[in-house]
Chain A
Amino acid sequence: MKKNKLLLNGFLLLAVLIFSSACDVLDTIKTFPVNIPMSVTFSTSGSNSSMVQSSTFCVNQNETYLQYKDDISELTYVEAAIRTISYSPSDVRGDIVLKVYDPLGNVLFKEVLEDVSPGDYMNTPYVITLNTDEFNTLNSYLQQALESGGDICMTAEFSMNITQGSAPYSFEGALDIAFEAKTTL
């Protein structure tokens, strides 16, 4: 009789465990992440060996962002890369600097590529590695901008100091950047 009671309690405990664990699983699926890819293009040409161009982009104008905008609870940086679309002359080399600013002019992150050929990044974009400070600064800006309900804009400044190759110079490239939006169901 005691054995039977023990067995019955064991089965009931298992059933309760399964039901209560199911509730925990349900809690974890209240949000799901959506990746938002963006590209900012630069185009510059001329005879000056120092080329600078900047472009502003807003995450909240992205199509995928707009699709989920009412459900986004968190916005974070995932990855960024510098990509060359076209360039001339073919032997051009130089130092490339990319800076990304928030609307107040604070640098969110910066990447310097010294003595490189733009051709190296035609088929294989250069993936930027952010240090911990840059990563935290960028994510902090994204979250604050998201919570404020306003625009989530940044300005990317691309500059190239040419050290090899004959003028005239031309360069067309892009900053590719991916964000993750945590969306609630």
Chain B
Amino acid sequence: MRKTAFAILLMLTFSLQVSAQLEDRFSYLLEKDFTEYAKPAVTSLGVGLNSAGYHDAYVSKLFGFSVGVRAMFIFVPDAQLTFTPAGLPEGYNANKETATIWGDKGAVYAGPLGYVTYPGGLNVSTVPLAYPQAAVSFMGTELMVRYLPDIDLGDSGESLSLFGFGIKHSISQYIPLIPVNIAVQFLYNKLSVTNVMESKNIAFNVHASKSFGLLTLYGGLQYETSTIDFTYVFEDPNNVSTLDGQEIKATIDGDNNIRMTVGAAFSAAFFVINADYSIGSQSVVTTGISFEF
């Protein structure tokens, strides 16, 4: 149990490390290239935060309560590990690809002003994420909340915070003798690093489930969007740009739009363990453990 708690803590730390490194790296890029560099991370964060909204379409008509932890692995496809720069100065040829935030080596480009270099990436193709969530339900409607208090990111005065909520409503309660449970759900999640970034994620899904004793099979279709607003000061490591020191504000949309999810949940007394797999712009395996009644 202590090991599990440690692992959850590590995964939360992962988010902190990524955000700290992101700031170090993207300060070297102008908006056009920064957008391509960071987009896979925007998508990953969106995929992660828009996941784990449900593991059952049944919603209690009287009163229900659930609290637990969701952990996931997001798989970044090869195509999102590199990009072709668009912001090279005149006279330079973008003849090779360079790393995105999840890629490996940053490329260097020879040209009339010397080398223009791009930052490397974190060299990961799977991204872990974990967060706590709780829900209450009554009259066929469920309200879910995700929350992390402000976590100090060090001496810089920046802090990371997470807030999210979801509203789910049972549709099957209006359809007599229907053999499966069906529900619709709206999700909103916001992850912020003060003065650096704000990630807003919205999702709408319809999902269904069917129970077989202690086992519940579930699946759903979800539409989602993810956007991150970044603010940073451009630092030119190549000394070839006149924009050195300029504050840059960038809004980046993730590639995640539609996903399909299939999964299963196992109930034992007041505990439920679930796992599912979602196919989308980036696929994700999610698992969770909840205490619920």
Contact = CB atoms under 8 A, between A and B. Distances in A.
Interface stretch (B11-19, B34-42, B165-173, B218-226): B11-19
A131 interface: no
Given A37-B108, A78-B108, A178 B117 contact: yes
A14 B126 contact: no
A22 B123 contact: no
B13 A26 contact: yes
Contact of B287 (A8, A15, A32, A177): A15
B91 A37 contact: no
Interface residues of A, number: 42
B127 interface: yes
Contacts of B72: 18
A39 interface: yes
Contacts of B118: 35
Interface stretch (B2-10, B58-66, B143-151): B2-10
A25 B124 CA distance: 7
Looking at A7, A21, A38, A177, the one whose CB has the most chain B CB atoms below 10 A away is: A7
Interface string B87-131: 000010000000000000110101110111111111110111010
Contacts of B111: 123-125
B140 interface: no
Contacts of A38: 115
B31 to A, nearest CB: 20
A4 B73 CA distance: 25
Interface stretch (B180-188, B192-200, B249-257, B268-276): B268-276
A81 B110 contact: yes
Interface in B213-250: 213-215, 237-238
Given A35-B117, A37-B115, A178-B115, A11 B266 contact: yes
Contacts, number: 138
B114 A22 contact: no
B268 A8 contact: yes
Interface of A is mostly: mixed
A39 B108 contact: no
Interface of B: 3-4, 7-8, 10-11, 13-14, 17-18, 20-21, 24-25, 71-73, 91, 105-106, 108, 110-112, 114-124, 126-128, 130, 213-215, 237-238, 264, 266, 268, 273-275, 285, 287, 289
30 contacts: A4-B215, A4-B266, A7-B215, A8-B268, A11-B287, A15-B4, A15-B71, A18-B285, A19-B4, A19-B11, A23-B7, A25-B127, A25-B128, A28-B124, A29-B18, A32-B25, A33-B105, A35-B118, A35-B120, A37-B108, A37-B238, A39-B114, A78-B108, A79-B108, A83-B112, A123-B91, A125-B112, A176-B115, A180-B120, A185-B17
Question: Which 3 residue pairs spanning A and B have beta carbons closest together?
Answer: A22-B128, A35-B117, A19-B7
Given A125-B110, A127-B110, 14 more contacts: A8-B268, A11-B273, A12-B273, A14-B275, A18-B285, A21-B126, A22-B11, A22-B14, A25-B124, A25-B127, A32-B24, A35-B118, A124-B110, A176-B110
